Amino acid sequence: MGFGGLFKELAVFAVMVTIMATSVAAQPKPGCQSHCGNISIPYPFGTSNGCYISRDFFINCDTSFNPPKAFLSDTGLELQVLNISLDDGSLRIQYHRSVGYDCYNSSGPTSYDTSVFLHRKFSISYSRNKFTAIGCDTIAYINGFSGPDSSNITAIPRGMQAYFFNFTTLQSHSTVLRFNPCSYGFLVEDGVYTFSTSDLSNIDFNKRKYPLILDWAIGDQTCEEAKMDPKNYACKQNSACIDPESGPGYLCKCNDGFQGNPYLSNGCQDINECEALKPCNEFGICHNTLGSYYCTCPEGFEGDGRKYGTGCSPKPKAHRESFPILLVALGWYT
Ligand SMILES: *[C@@H]1O[C@H](CO)[C@@H](O)[C@H](O)[C@H]1NC(C)=O
Ligand SMILES: *[C@@H]1O[C@H](CO)[C@@H](O)[C@H](O)[C@H]1NC(C)=O
Ligand SMILES: *[C@@H]1O[C@H](CO)[C@@H](O)[C@H](O)[C@H]1NC(C)=O
Ligand SMILES: *[C@@H]1O[C@H](CO)[C@@H](O)[C@H](O)[C@H]1NC(C)=O
Ligand SMILES: *[C@@H]1O[C@H](CO)[C@@H](O)[C@H](O)[C@H]1NC(C)=O
């Protein structure tokens, strides 16, 4: 058998390891509902008693809608959940009255509503939302609360858990009434709203609902504090604790080389990099390990075996005598 035969053999081997990499879906707690309508509900969130980590993570799945809709509970506001992300501890929500408005006719003010948001645990992402005000002759203020303080703000502060809007006009829209009777203010996920001049005259603009990104975190301790209480520490095996920038509490993340749900016991599963990344050279042999992998070359070859490394190349034949030994070694592969 020559090298040609060996290459063919290894090529077949390479094809055999071309198995679809399976991604581990974010799971609920065992025995708990995994979806509400088409929204996946990973632990620490849950739709029934015993399925969530604490009451703030209770998702009220309202089956009177078809498909069912997921709501954050205990807020008094109908905060509909559109998506839950474990990767960065965020939630995409939308709700009624998300657009505040201040409208006028030629006699003066006609209607006004401030959009109000309030949640006792989750805050409005300061980096992924934009405060947007539209209107001519419009000055809009957003009053944000994090804890007991309220202040006029222009940028969204970290940890803001409540807000309402105030509007001011200089001339009660009198000079612009014909095309812009209202001022509007809203918070919206960055990149979702694009201004259109027709929005200025649209008196139904306040009926729109825009998505908003909230940040969530476990408890109100730092990682360091949480680790001192192992019984209640939320980050399970093969995961690490992260102190989010958004405010109090902590998040968990699977260690490198693992994927899944870090909040569940054995939720972080080893990634088979050999299948997922195919990191080894055509002739390299991939070995998956817990949390990592390595490549080797078949006998008679040298190199690091990696696709983007030195790969595998036949060892230089220094002596003629060594050739038969090489053939014996290669015979194992046939
Ligand atoms: C759920 O379904 C709605 C409408 O059917 C769609 O707009 C939305 O993107 C879906 N959400 C997810 C997370 O797939
Ligand atoms: C929902 O969140 C998941 C997890 O972060 C993400 O992969 C997915 O793209 C999101 N879906 C939508 C419609 O934003
Ligand atoms: C302006 O709005 C008020 C309150 O809605 C209404 O009573 C009044 O008739 C309106 N004036 C004009 C000129 O349309
Ligand atoms: C916000 O600023 C406006 C204008 O400067 C002021 O009238 C209003 O009282 C301020 N509101 C708060 C809550 O500080
Ligand atoms: C701002 O709005 C709040 C709530 O609607 C209201 O109570 C307050 O008087 C307003 N402040 C100003 C300065 O307009």
Looking at every residue in the chain, the average pLDDT score rounds to 82
Question: What's the confidence (pLDDT) of residue 148?
Answer: 45
Q: Which ligand ends up closest to the CA of 109?
A: 3
Question: What's the confidence (pLDDT) of residue 316?
Answer: 86
User: Domains along the chain?
Assistant: 94-215 (no CATH), 273-313 (2.10.25.10)
Q: Side-chain half-sphere of 244: how many Cα atoms within 13 Å?
A: 28
DSSP 268: E
**pTM of this structure:** 0.76
**Under 8 Å between Cβ of 209 and 98:** yes
Closest CA to ligand 1's atom 14:
38
Which residue in this structure is represented by tokens 């390990």?
289
Question: What's the confidence (pLDDT) of residue 17?
Answer: 31
Find the angle CA(199)-CA(97)-CA(143) to the nearest 5 degrees: 95
Task: Enumerate residues lining ligand 3, CB below 6 A.
Answer: 105-107, 110
Residue 79: phi and psi, rounded to 5, are -95, 105
- Closest ligand 4 atom to Cα of 152: 1
- Model confidence at 291: pLDDT above 80: yes
**Under 8 Å between Cβ of 183 and 134:** yes
CA distances from 21 to 71, 238, 283 (A): 33, 20, 20
Q: Tokens for 83, please give them.
A: 């998506």
The residue whose CB lies within 8 Å of the most ligand 2 atoms, and thus the one to mutate among 45, 85, 92, 192, is 85
> Which of 266, 258, 253 lies closest to 223, judged by CA?
253
156-165 tens-digit pLDDT: 778 788 777 7
- Report the distance separating Cα 285 and Cα 303, nearest Å: 11
pLDDT band at 96 (very low <50, low <70, confident <90, very high): confident
- Report the distance separating Cα 26 and Cα 259, nearest Å: 9
101-151 tens-digit pLDDT: 889 888 888 988 887 788 888 988 988 998 888 888 777 777 777 654 445
Task: Enumerate residues lining ligand 2, CB below 6 A.
Answer: 83, 85, 87
Kindly give the distance from the C-alpha atom of residue 136 to the centroid of ligand 5, in angstroms, as a whole number.
Answer: 20
- Model confidence at 13: pLDDT above 50: no
CA distances from 251 to 53, 109, 160, 232, 277 (A): 13, 46, 18, 13, 27
**Under 8 Å between Cβ of 103 and 258:** no
Closest CA to ligand 3's atom 5:
110
245-281 tens-digit pLDDT: 888 899 999 999 999 999 999 999 999 999 998 999 9
- Closest ligand 1 atom to Cα of 83: 13
Kindly give the distance from the C-alpha atom of residue 106 to the centroid of ligand 3, in angstroms, as a whole number.
Answer: 7
Neighbours of 228 (CB within 10 A): 9
Helix ranges restricted to H, 145-266? 198-201, 223-227
172-222 tens-digit pLDDT: 778 888 888 888 888 899 999 888 888 888 888 888 889 999 999 999 999
- Model confidence at 24: pLDDT above 50: no
Closest CA to ligand 5's atom 3:
166
- Closest ligand 2 atom to Cα of 90: 5
- Closest ligand 1 atom to Cα of 39: 13
DSSP 34: -
Q: Which ligand ends up closest to the CA of 107?
A: 3
Q: What's the burial of 307, exposed, middle or buried (CB within 10 Å: 0-12/13-18/19+)?
A: middle
Q: Which ligand ends up closest to the CA of 143?
A: 4
- Contacts with 116 (C-beta within 8 Å, 6 or more apart), sequence order: 77, 97, 162, 163, 164
